[in-house]
Amino acid sequence: MPYDPSAFPPFAVTVDLVVLTVRRHSLCALAVRRGEPPFQGRWALPGGFVRDDEDLSQAAARELAEETGLCAHDPAAPAQDNGAHLEQLATYGDPKRDPRMRVVSVAHLALAPDLPAPRAGGDASNARWAPVEELLAQGGYGRDGEPVAPLAFDHAQILADGVERARSKIEYSSLATAFCPPEFTVGELRRVYEAVWGVALDPRNFHRKVTGTPGFLVPTGGTTTRQGGRPAQLFRAGGATLLNPPMLRPEV
Amino acid sequence: MPYDPSAFPPFAVTVDLVVLTVRRHSLCALAVRRGEPPFQGRWALPGGFVRDDEDLSQAAARELAEETGLCAHDPAAPAQDNGAHLEQLATYGDPKRDPRMRVVSVAHLALAPDLPAPRAGGDASNARWAPVEELLAQGGYGRDGEPVAPLAFDHAQILADGVERARSKIEYSSLATAFCPPEFTVGELRRVYEAVWGVALDPRNFHRKVTGTPGFLVPTGGTTTRQGGRPAQLFRAGGATLLNPPMLRPEV
DNA sequence: ATCATAGTCGTCTGCCTGACGATAAACACT
DNA sequence: AGTGTTTATCGTCAGGCAGACGACTATGAT
């Protein structure tokens, strides 16, 4: 049995990406327009086939670079120059999830700071950042009132799972800094939490919390006034990845 | 491109299982002995190919039933008669993880109460419960002094990831009850936490904590004395899946 | 000058936690 | 029957953290 290729059914394996960022106070995901059937013209998550000699994380990093120009952020390299956080999310393998053939998709979650306009093979009209509520509003209407078709395949489920992962993971890890530029203020970090969780946080308690959690933030010494108001201290992400004590998400 | 099978490399897709239980105060995993190369005679995690018409979770549930006789516990069914908790863990797809061919393995994590001896296709000598430290002690020695070979393939990594998932998930979810029989005492639940985390917990504070967390435990009215000492109240798992406030794992 | 905006520092109160004393109810001895 | 051992359960107390919120600071806009 071991070497007989007929002993197991062949699968296609893909990686799909949930790329999240925070723009204009709302959590947005990268969506690309499908150029071919099935689901031609519909929005979908970026992704593609895993190549013959690639590891899954390599394939995800390659797709991420192709779609956004971002370098995947190796967990071992804390200096996040232009790197996004990238981690495996979950794997989706319903026999009917792709009408053409049996496809197993290993979804990955990427978190990136706010970026300029996306590019999908150089074609800007086929890729965009969209608020996740808009992408998940099945058959609803977008911000400009036009009807929005649901995402292709099972990508709505994948996106929902990715958003939920991000929401819960910024609670007990320093992952929220992956949404920020290399240097950021406490207020910018707070707006990340507010956008991802969709809640308002008390600026004073938030400030006390994040500056008091060891290893979360290290001051750079500089200040900025890019938000208006009194100048704010600039910070970099500290070495800690697990927050102790964790940030607490307010009750529903 | 869409319908051309030559456009993507074919993969074999398997499910591997990390089946955990608590026996004799220690966290144990199910291991099976490989009967064929590669890694013939070595211990490995149970698993097998995903069939053509199966979803990944169905394949995992089927393998679990074949190896242990357990029914997979659907998250929607809170009554855990003889059902184990089953959830997807992660997917492993290094091109060289199987020397024969390109295999992507979707690992699943199963948590079960203490069971009678395992069976692997009816052959008891080819399946066993082993303490996870023993299985993870690369090239170390088992409890009876005989040398232990490391697990086959990348199964040591998969097992380590599964154990870590279990350790962190019993902190903020009611998953620890999946290690207990349908009715159990606070002391039995505490010994689960102690075995999984490998720490000693204060019985008084633990009792206050779990009985005070809403939805975690519901008293059945009965008592038992199977642990010796004063009779203890019996409880069933409550409906809550997420614990608020969470259990706190003591510091390192 | 005045206002609006955003940041930062304090205070107070209630809740949770860890440490630990005390009591209760079974069993195993003598 | 009495005594010790084991496990379960209840209480107390001090320290720490979180939410609510007042106060003050430093900038730009009018």
Write out pLDDT tens, residues B24-41: 999 999 999 999 889 999
Tell me, in Å, how far CA of B229 is from C1' of C29? 15
Cβ contacts of residue A226 below 8 Å, gap of 6+? none
DSSP bridge pairs for A223: A233
User: Which of B88, B104, B242 to mutate against chain A (most A CBs within 10 Å)?
Assistant: B104
Q: State yes or no: pLDDT of B82 exceeds 90.
A: no
Single out the residue of A169, A178, A249 nearest to residue A209, CA to CA. A249
Strand pairing class (B12-23; B103-111): parallel
Out of B16-25, B146-155, B165-174, pick the least confident.
B146-155
Q: A143, A126, A132: which is closest to A42 by C-alpha?
A: A126
d(CA B241, CA B147) in angstroms, rounded, equals 41
Residue A147 makes CB contacts below 8 A (sequence gap 6+) with: A139, A140, A141
pLDDT band at B122 (very low <50, low <70, confident <90, very high): low
Q: What angle do CA A115, A154, B49 make, to 5 degrees?
A: 115
pLDDT per residue over A93-123, tens digit each? 999 999 999 999 999 999 999 876 666 555 6
Residue A80 is predicted with a pLDDT of 46
Q: In this structure, are residues A225 and A187 in contact, taking their beta carbons and an 8 Å threshold?
A: no
Which residues of chain A have a pLDDT value below 50?
1-3, 76-80
**Residue A205 contacts residue A199 (beta carbons within 8 Å):** no
User: Which amino acid does the sequence have at B6?
Assistant: S
- Say how far apart CA B45 and CA B152 lie, in whole Å: 8
Statement: residue B247 has pLDDT above 80: yes
Q: What is the pLDDT of residue A2?
A: 43
Q: Which residue has the tokens 């989706």?
A: A92
- pLDDT value at position A75? 56
Across the interface, whether the CB atoms of B10 and A7 are under 8 A apart is answered no
If you ran DSSP here, which 8-state letter would residue A40 be given? T
Q: pLDDT tens digits, residue range B174-194?
A: 999 999 999 999 999 999 999
Dihedral (CA of A249, A64, A89, A94) sign:
positive
Q: How far is A190 from chain B (nearest CA, A)?
A: 23
> Does the pLDDT at position B211 exceed 90?
yes
CB nearest to A3's CB, from B1, B52, B100: B100
Q: Is there a cis peptide before residue B250, judged by omega within 30 degrees of 0? A: no
Smallest CA–CA distance, residue A173 to chain B, in Å, is 13
Q: How far is B92 from chain A (nearest CA, A)?
A: 8
- What domains can be seen in chain A, in order of their start residue? 10-170 (3.90.79.10), 173-237 (1.10.10.10)
CB A244 within 8 A of CB A213: yes
Please state whether strand C lies within 7 Å of residue A221 at its CB atom: no
Contact A49 B8 (CB under 8 A): yes
Q: How far is the CA of B250 from the C1' of C17 (A)?
A: 11
Enclosing H/E stretch for A208: helix A203-212
Q: What is the largest CA-CA distance in chain A?
A: 71
- Bridge-based pairing of strands A71-73 and A83-92 is parallel
User: Is A36 in contact with B8 (Cβ distance < 8 A)?
Assistant: no
Calpha distance B41→B39 (Å, rounded): 6
* Spatial distance from the CA of A151 to the C1' of D26 (Å): 47
Per-residue pLDDT, A145: 67
Q: Which of A1, A6, A11 to mutate to test the interface with B (most CBs of B within 10 A)?
A: A11
pLDDT for residue B80 is more than 70? no
Nearest nucleotide to A204, CA against C1' atoms: C8
B21–chain A nearest CA distance, Å: 24
For A133-168, what is each residue's pLDDT tens digit? Answer: 999 997 666 666 677 789 999 999 999 999 999 999
The rounded mean pLDDT for chain B is: 90
Cβ–Cβ under 8 Å, residues B193 and B170: yes
CB atoms near residue A225 (< 10 Å): 10
Q: Spell out the residues 6+ positions from residue A102 whose beta carbon is closer than 8 angstroms to its own.
A: A9, A10, A11, A12, A95, B52
Find which of B3, B4, B8 to mutate to test the A interface (most A CBs within 10 Å of its CB).
B8
CB within 8 Å: B56 and A8: no
Q: Contacts of residue A12 in chain B, CB cutoff 8 Å?
A: 8, 10-11
Three-class SS of A56-119: HHHHHHHHHHHHHCCEEECCCCCCCCCEEEEEEEEEECCCCCCCCCCEEEEEEEEECCCCCCCC
pLDDT of residue B72: 75
